[in-house]
Amino acid sequence: MKGHNIRHILLPLLSLGLLVASCSTTRRIPQDELLYTGLKGVEVNTPLPQEKFPAGVKESLTEAVSVKPNNPLLGSASVRTPFPVGLWVYNNWPNPPKGFKHWIYNKLVSEPVLVSDVRPEVRVHMLDKILDNNGYFAGKASYELVQKKNKKKASILYTIEAGEPYLIDSIRLLPDTTHLYHLIDSVALQSAYFKTGSRYSVDSLATLRVQIANAVRNRGYYYFKPEFIQYLADSTITRGRIAIHMEVADNLHPWALDRFSTGTITTYVQRNNGGGTPDTISTPKGDVIQFRPSKLRRSLIPSCIAFRPGRTFSVRQMDLTQSRLSRLGIFNNINMTVYPDTVNRDKRLLNVAIECTFDRPWEASIEANVSSKSNSYLGPGITLGLTNRNIFGGGEQLNVSLTGSYEWQTGSGRNSLFNSYEAGLNATLAFPRLLAPRFVPRSRRDLNWTRISLGVDVLNRPHYFKMEQFNTGISYDWRSSRYINNSFTLFKLSYTKLQNTTEVFDSIMNANPAIALSFQNQFIPQMSYSLTYDRAMNADNTINVQASVSQAGNIFWSIYELCGKHHEKELFGTPFSQFIKGYAQIVYGRRLGGDIWLVNRLATGAAWAYGNSRQVPYSEQFYAGGANSVRAFTVRSIGPGSYRAPADQINGYFDQTGTFIFLANTELRFPILGPLHGAIFLDAGNVWTLKAEESRPGGQLKASSFLRDLALGTGAGLRFNISMLVIRADLGIGIHAPYHTSKRGYYNMESFKKSLAFHLAIGYPF
């Protein structure tokens, strides 16, 4: 674009900005009113400067007075954007009763938020209440208006004189005269809060009531509620201290004091379209009344029921039963009713009735989408799927899908127009249980799955090659604890075949023997295990740890060795790969305030070929760069190490893989407006080879050059969060390239323009 064209655009925009900034935003505000410009702050003064005021209490106080002004910046209650367009329209734009100008006015206008709307005097009373609820009975709140040059505007500063907090001086529990009272006292004594010396807090006492109610309801006292626990607080015994007496409410129902056991358990299994003939099946977990004709394994319902007739009734068993039945995926409606047994009144029994309605067994789907892969390929695709949720009557799921997609690579650089298409036919049969020995540890709280898969895929890279891959395997997915998910592939056999190649591709392979070996036709018999630890430690900290290890060819190699074949071994006349591969990553997230998160990732992996192979298959090697890696570089445009493909080799893409990877990422995520979020990130990483290769000098991993070989980039991005879908756009800016460029020093990017890489992707990068 020429200079005068740029001026024609920028000058009107600048003039408009100056006009908006210069126009009054308080002209229509009444004489006795003030425009509210935000929260100036909440200052807390304590008797001793070194005393640390509780962060949770400070957050509650700030939240109570955080009223957003007009045009807040990033949703902030204290900072505004510099161009208050809505206020300018309200104060300076005429509003005709109808027509286009009236429509524009309604779209742009923002009525002023006044100090009287904020009602600071009422919020002071709210602050006093919060102080009292947290033990600061001597505390007092006040406010003042903070004004600058324009006397029609004011922000609000709240000041808290906290005083000394009241502590719990003594605790009197319930008399240990009944099983219920003993149980309540035990839960209270186990509380980390409910001890002498703790700061008095209404919220903490309320939380303890809920904990007590949950505990006793899981031990037979089904009708007990949190409000049946009462506290009497006395501050007159010791000055500045609180004596607490725990009591049980007088007006509670007699059943709340009774301990119940599980009576009869009856499960009704209804057909999807209603009707049918009832068939009663007696099991140790109660009667199952199945309306026939319908398909259901006799052991399926009992395996999901956590209740035991005659044992203490537990609400936890209700939730677990509901969860297990829901996870089967074969019912569209599950209702559970609990009612007292009126026949055996003296035994205090609760009967359970469960109603399950079958979902439709078959489901067909047509899905059009835009897919984004970890290798930065993006493009439209279509998936035709057919699923049977209950093919054998035990919750088994058969899924057959036909997929097709056309893809192009995102990011700048010489490889950014490398397009392809892919088609595949895949079938998976999943059993909602482990078809494995009982000694494998598993959680009864969740469904465990056995999956058998069979598929074929065709990948076409125009002008280079056409590859076909056949695969089959059996795998297990199970939870061994609340936070740990396991996946074990007992056996997976893949066959990769290059169907067609071009002269260009052949010339690249001839120049790179190591890469050529990884592309050869071969079987890949694999066994792998992966573990995922995913936990939100609290509201402000999350951690996700993933680790996987896989090996290929060892079992076949051992069999051949036992049979006396010590040379290159083949399966059905084709060599099979033999290698071991491991990968691990840690992702840690920390909330900095509100919905602002700092998320960090550290990842590394290695692969080593041996025995029957001299090179790890190309599909199993690592690569760096792209939308989910070092975003300042396009995929496979860096590495291995300091190697860089010659400038005249535009197809150097095939060289940019390695058998060792290291990645380090940090990303600040923050809200902007509604579903629109932003991010600022810093990425570092690369791939290396574990073996020296003459065709790729500088590619081998060495400690002396490790830091220098790390590519480094920064950048910013936007995320549009639509329900479960996140559309992401990232602009990466290169800081350091691991290869030699025309520039000296650590910042060695050839130019700012060439250091940019744009990526469009779906989902978060980590």
* pLDDT tens figures, 683-733: 999 999 999 888 889 999 999 999 999 999 999 999 988 767 788 899 999
Q: How far apart (Å, rounded) are the C-alpha atoms in residues 264 and 310?
A: 9
Instruction: Indicate the residue type of 665.
Output: N
Q: Both ends of the chain: CA-CA distance in Å?
A: 38
Check if the beta carbon of residue 627 is closer than 8 Å to that of residue 761: yes
Residue among 460, 526, 538 at smallest CA distance from 487: 526
* Rg value, the chain, Cα: 34
Write the DSSP symbol of residue 619.
Answer: G
pLDDT of residue 378: 52
**Contact (CB, 8 A) for 497 and 574:** no
* Other beta carbons within 10 Å of 448: 20
Cα(149)–Cα(707) distance, integer angstroms: 53
Q: Specify the pLDDT at position 569.
A: 78
pLDDT (0 to 100) of residue 380:
66
Give residue 20's Cα distance to chain centre: 41
In terms of Cβ atoms closer than 10 Å to its own Cβ (0-12, 13-18, 19+), residue 401 is middle
DSSP 48: S
Q: Tell me the C-alpha distance between 338 and 198, whole Å.
A: 39
* Per-residue pLDDT, 419: 66
User: b/e string for 538-567 if b means 16 or more Cβ within 10 A?
Assistant: eeeebebbbebebbbbbebbeebeeeeeee
Element counts in the chain: helices (H) and strands (E): 13, 29
CA 651 to chain centre: 36
Give the pLDDT confidence score for residue 640 in this predicted structure. Answer: 93
SS3 content of the chain, % helix, strand, coil (to 5): 20, 40, 40
Q: What pTM value is reported for the model? A: 0.70
Distance CA 746, CA 754 (A): 16
How far is the C-alpha of 734 from the C-alpha of 750, rounded, in Å?
Answer: 10
Average pLDDT, 10 consecutive residues per value, the chain (766 residues): 42 43 72 91 84 86 91 74 81 81 81 92 96 94 93 94 93 94 95 92 95 96 95 92 93 90 96 92 94 92 92 95 90 95 87 95 77 49 88 93 75 52 92 76 73 92 83 92 91 88 82 75 91 91 96 87 75 86 97 90 96 86 91 88 75 73 96 88 96 89 95 95 82 94 91 88 86
- Secondary structure E strands in 341-419: 349-358, 362-372, 377-388, 397-409
CA distances from 697 to 358, 430, 506, 653, 657 (A): 63, 47, 21, 16, 13
131 three-class SS = helix
Strands (E), 563-675: 570-571, 574-575, 579-593, 596-609, 660-673
pLDDT in tens, 442-472: 666 677 899 999 999 998 877 788 888 899 9
Cα angle: 656, vertex 658, 660; to 5 degrees? 140
